[in-house]
Amino acid sequence: MDSDRQLHAEVVSALEAVTPPAPWLASSIGESLRAHPRRAGTRFTNHRLSVAIAGVLVPLLVVTAGGLFAIRSLIHPVSAQPPRGDVARYVAMLTRDKLVLDEAYGGKVSVDDWSTSACVSLANQECPAYLARVEGGWQRMQYDLDRTTPPDQFKAEHERMQANLRAFIAALGLGVAAFNAGDSQTLNRVFNSAMQLQDQILWIEAYVVYESGDPKPARDTATATYQKLVARDYDNLHLPALFSSLFTCTLRDAACTASIANTRSALRAFDADLRASRPPDARLDYIRGTLLGGLTIELANLDQVDAASASGNEKALESTRLSSLHAQWSVSLYTGWILYAH
Amino acid sequence: MQNAIMTRERAARGGDEVAFTTLLAPILEPGYRLACAMLHDPQAAEDAVQEAALKAWRKLDRLRAGAEMRPWFLGIVANECRSTRRSGWWAKVGALVTDRPVEAASDSVLTGMEVRRALRALEHRSRLVLVLRWYLDLPVEEIARVSGLSVHAVESRLARATRELRTKLQAMEVRNG
């Protein structure tokens, strides 16, 4: 570097290379400002007056909004699709996050492909760095999802990804701690069980990218209705939250018992709905059979976890909760066949 | 011209988002360039500018009447960049995002990647004043308003940052042979 001028030129050229044009920025900021209206700085100083005005205005606004909504529903029974740009931006964000993840893993990461040699034994010193890098990749996706309002059509998928990400990132953190503590049992649990969460996120991400692509043939109403029912009942299970509870469950753990109780009643409701509904085709009918089997097994597993915990049997608790985590994987997998695989 | 700006500012303070967007439009580009130069990650830079715009919108009352909007907004962008770099994921995969080779090979002894690595090694405020001066060509007085430093402090920070950057780059040149 001979002179300030040369250094200046080197810096400008190095920075220009990471500043691609972003012509959409102004419009996307305009949209986001419209979504966050700002009130002017007017303040009522008379408290009684404010309360009186609020007492009249709030019910009036509620009635007006309700009326407008009802009229709008009559005119437009189906809600309008969000602008195409929203979907494109959302998918571009997911795609970029996936690229960062691939780099963190050192290769393309896909569903059902989570084998790594970095953490096969506690002797492998690369494991903590590998897990930290992978955890960072998922945290980046979580950071992006948490800061993004999803397009309406992917709202449920967005929330499912977020729930799975929370549980998975926590499990990866436990994996690093387990390695440092020389706890191979927990480390194995991360690789044998927590990878179902990774599979779920990758599956949903791939589904969103696929669905946002070229126009697809319209799904028939019966299939769409059936998928809606399955999605609702599946989301009510809150499996990622149950996963996190079971992962760290101790004997007579009240939080764990509460989480199990929540999922148990949702499992029963799911089971009843599946039995009462009629799948629109033979393929979905077949999946329903396997899914019902998975729900039954998980219900039995949760009873056994509760029994082991209440009786103070640590060994039984360990084995039953592993069975439960495994059965969750099956429930998510069969549900995914209904929701994401057409 | 000044009257039109003041009218828009009053409207924006009253909650008119179109007026605010119009005021913001000419300073979004420098905001985005600043974020790219601080983060070296275009996607994170877009997010930072978007977040900064929302914060500016919410905190518009804090901008003194008649004060220039650009240094105020760039200050918010700089703070957003700092928050991004402090986030958990950045410490772990920031380098994966920012070290991607994005330019074609050049004849220069130092690649752009090395220059950026040297820049990233500078302390936040040093990097900020250097970027504002060299990349955004801002006058020292405005840099002082963006960074919250005195004009004198900016000048000495700029001289120190240049020395530090030069030292780091020379060390890289030696390593590269």
CB contact under 8 A, B119 and A14: yes
Write the DSSP symbol of residue A110. B
- Given a contact cutoff of 8 angstroms between Cβ atoms, the answer to whether B172 and A10 are in contact is no
Rounded Cα gap, residues A102 and A195, in angstroms? 16
Angle between helices A221-237 and A254-276 (to 10 degrees): 160
Taking only the tens place, the pLDDT of each residue in A165-182 is 999 999 988 888 888 898
The shortest CB-CB distance from B96 to any of A33, A40, A103 is to: A103
Distances (CA, A) of A98 to A134, A170, A268: 11, 19, 36
Q: Is the pTM here over 0.90, yes or no?
A: no
Q: How confident is the model at residue A207 (pLDDT cuts 50, 70, 90)?
A: very high
- Given a contact cutoff of 8 angstroms between Cβ atoms, the answer to whether A90 and A150 are in contact is yes
Q: How confident is the model at residue A23 (pLDDT cuts 50, 70, 90)?
A: confident
Contacts with B98 from chain A: Cβ below 8 Å = 18
pLDDT beyond 90 at B31: yes
CB contact under 8 A, A14 and B166: no
Mean pLDDT of all residues in A211-237: 90
CA angle B4, B10, B12 (to 5 degrees): 100
Contacts with B102 from chain A: Cβ below 8 Å = 17-18
Highest mean pLDDT among A133-147, A175-189, B106-120: A133-147
Rounded Cα gap, residues B172 and B161, in angstroms? 17
Q: How confident is the model at residue A148 (pLDDT cuts 50, 70, 90)?
A: confident
Residue B86 corresponds to which tokens in the numbers above? 């402090």
pLDDT at A40: 55
The shortest CB-CB distance from A33 to any of B57, B88, B93 is to: B57
Residue A335 corresponds to which tokens in the numbers above? 């549900």
Taking only the tens place, the pLDDT of each residue in B92-111 is 777 776 665 554 444 454 67
Give A7→chain B minimum CA distance, Å: 8
Rounded Cα gap, residues B51 and A95, in angstroms? 21
- Contacts of the segment B25-29: beta carbons below 8 A, 24+ positions apart: B25/A26, B27/B69, B27/B70, B27/B73, B27/B74, B28/A25, B28/A26, B28/A29, B28/B53
Mean pLDDT of all residues in A41-56: 51
- H-helix segments, chain A: 4-16, 25-35, 47-75, 84-105, 127-146, 155-181, 184-189, 195-211, 221-237, 239-247, 254-276, 282-311, 314-339
Of residues B41 and A161, the one with the higher pLDDT is A161
- Given a contact cutoff of 8 angstroms between Cβ atoms, the answer to whether A164 and A205 are in contact is no
ipTM of model: 0.88
Phi, psi of A113 (to 5 degrees): -135, 85
Average pLDDT across chain A, whole number: 84
For a pLDDT cut of 70, what percent of chain A falls above it? 84
Taking only the tens place, the pLDDT of each residue in B69-92 is 999 999 999 999 999 888 877 877
Rounded to the nearest 10 degrees, how much is the dihedral formed by the CA atoms of B88, B92, B97, B100? 160
Taking only the tens place, the pLDDT of each residue in B58-74 is 888 888 877 889 999 99
The shortest CB-CB distance from A33 to any of B21, B33, B42 is to: B21
Q: Given the structure tokens 């780059």, which residue do they identify?
A: B169
pLDDT at A83: 44
Residue A176 corresponds to which tokens in the numbers above? 């690093």
- Given a contact cutoff of 8 angstroms between Cβ atoms, the answer to whether A322 and A186 are in contact is no
CA-closest candidate to residue A98, choices A1, A183, A204, A13: A204
Of residues A208 and A5, the one with the higher pLDDT is A208
CB contact under 8 A, A36 and B58: yes
For a pLDDT cut of 90, what percent of chain A falls above it? 45
Taking only the tens place, the pLDDT of each residue in A247-279 is 888 888 888 999 999 999 999 999 999 999 999
- H-helix segments, A36-126: 47-75, 84-105
CB contact under 8 A, A18 and B92: no
- Given a contact cutoff of 8 angstroms between Cβ atoms, the answer to whether A236 and A266 are in contact is yes
CB contact under 8 A, B169 and A1: yes
Least confident piece of the model among A74-88, A198-212, A311-325: A74-88
Give A318→chain B minimum CA distance, Å: 31
- Given a contact cutoff of 8 angstroms between Cβ atoms, the answer to whether A298 and A268 are in contact is no
